[in-house]
């Protein structure tokens, strides 16, 4: 219920951003068009955003015949977590990463890059995919998937502000500085919305993944390894669609200085430390 409320708040906040940008671009008419567009995007995001994200990342569905070892890991962990078997996807990218998507556990999908399969041990891979299944179990996947598609739409709308200019309530040309401000601030606002949702859910998915796999040390080791490898390997699909970065187990886009303030993921070192503390304490009851 709590995550459903967060989803509603997210959709309302991004709808408000659409309306504000639409009003700046086209006055009263722009506001009405933006409102209609926002409702259309909300409907589309709820039902089809998972397919859009999978397409953006170039994910290809696999099964027990085409990827037997990887598929078996998901099958085992889904059973442990009392979850329906999700659809399984591979992304042919060298960058090590993984994510989950879908509107609910009955319509979920998990995806991993071929790069992550190449660098992780079987035990570490279990830890990573248990993390992704924790997102499914906690129903985070709808929130993150909607955030990714809507943030991309806001960025496109903001870019229009740079070329079309702003208009007042009567539709007359207005201050061009306002258009520039909208073009800059709207994507930042969308990023802040994603950030406030994503950081907390990553800690919770780490904890939930450790409980599903019963192996927090394996996930800690995997996160450390992904962090070290990913810094030197570009994730081309995410570079083309940066709005999908917040869905990944680790943000594949480089961030330094003030840009770290807008990171959708908590520091890897802190995540590893929390997981190692769980491993030492042995306090990770299996998720039921």
User: Among all residues, which ones are annotated catalytic?
Assistant: 132
Task: Supply the DSSP string of 8-27, one letter for each residue.
Answer: HHHHHHHHHHHHHHHHHHHH
Q: Which of 196, 201, 204, 194 is nearest to 274 (CA)?
A: 204
Q: For 169, phi and psi rounded to 5 degrees?
A: -60, -25
Backbone angles phi, psi at 167, to 5 degrees: -135, 155
Tokens of 37: 């567009």
Measured between alpha carbons, how far is 31 from 280 in angstroms, rounded to an integer? 55
- Distance in angstroms (rounded) separating the CA atoms of residues 191 and 234: 21
**DSSP-derived secondary structure for 95-161:** S--EEEEESSGGGEEEEEEHHHHHHS-HHHHHHHHHHHHHHHHTT-HHHHHHHHHHHHHHHHHHHHH
Distance CA 278, CA 130 (A): 15
Please tell me what DSSP assigns to residue 285.
P
**Residues paired with 61 in a beta bridge:** 89
Per DSSP, the three-state class of 188 is helix
Q: Are 209 and 274 in contact (CB under 8 A)?
A: no
């Amino acid at each position: 219920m709590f995550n459903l409320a967060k989803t509603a708040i997210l959709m309302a906040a991004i709808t408000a951003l659409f309306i504000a940008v639409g009003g700046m671009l086209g006055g009263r008419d722009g506001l009405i068009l933006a409102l209609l567009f926002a409702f259309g995007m909300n409907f589309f995001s709820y039902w089809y955003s998972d397919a859009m994200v999978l397409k953006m990342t170039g994910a290809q569905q696999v099964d027990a015949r085409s990827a037997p070892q990887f598929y078996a890991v998901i099958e085992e962990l889904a059973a442990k977590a009392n979850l329906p078997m999700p659809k399984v996807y591979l992304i042919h990218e060298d960058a090590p990463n993984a994510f989950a998507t879908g509107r609910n556990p009955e319509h979920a999908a998990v995806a991993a890059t071929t790069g992550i399969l190449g660098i992780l041990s079987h035990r570490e891979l279990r830890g990573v995919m248990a993390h992704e299944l924790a997102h499914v179990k906690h129903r985070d996947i709808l929130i993150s998937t909607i955030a990714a598609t809507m943030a991309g739409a806001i960025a496109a709308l903001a870019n229009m502000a740079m070329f079309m200019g702003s208009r007042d309530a009567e539709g007359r040309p207005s201050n061009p500085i306002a258009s520039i401000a909208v073009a800059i601030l709207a994507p930042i606002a969308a990023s802040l919305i994603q950030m406030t949702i994503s950081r907390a859910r990553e800690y919770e998915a780490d904890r939930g993944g450790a409980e599903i796999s019963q192996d927090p040390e394996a996930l800690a080791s995997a996160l450390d390894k992904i962090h070290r490898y990913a810094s030197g390997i570009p994730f081309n699909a995410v570079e083309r669609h940066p709005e999908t970065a917040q869905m990944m187990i680790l943000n594949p886009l480089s961030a330094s200085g003030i840009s770290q303030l807008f990171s959708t993921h908590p520091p890897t070192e802190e995540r590893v430390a929390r997981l190692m503390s769980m491993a030492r304490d042995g306090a990770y009851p299996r998720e039921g």
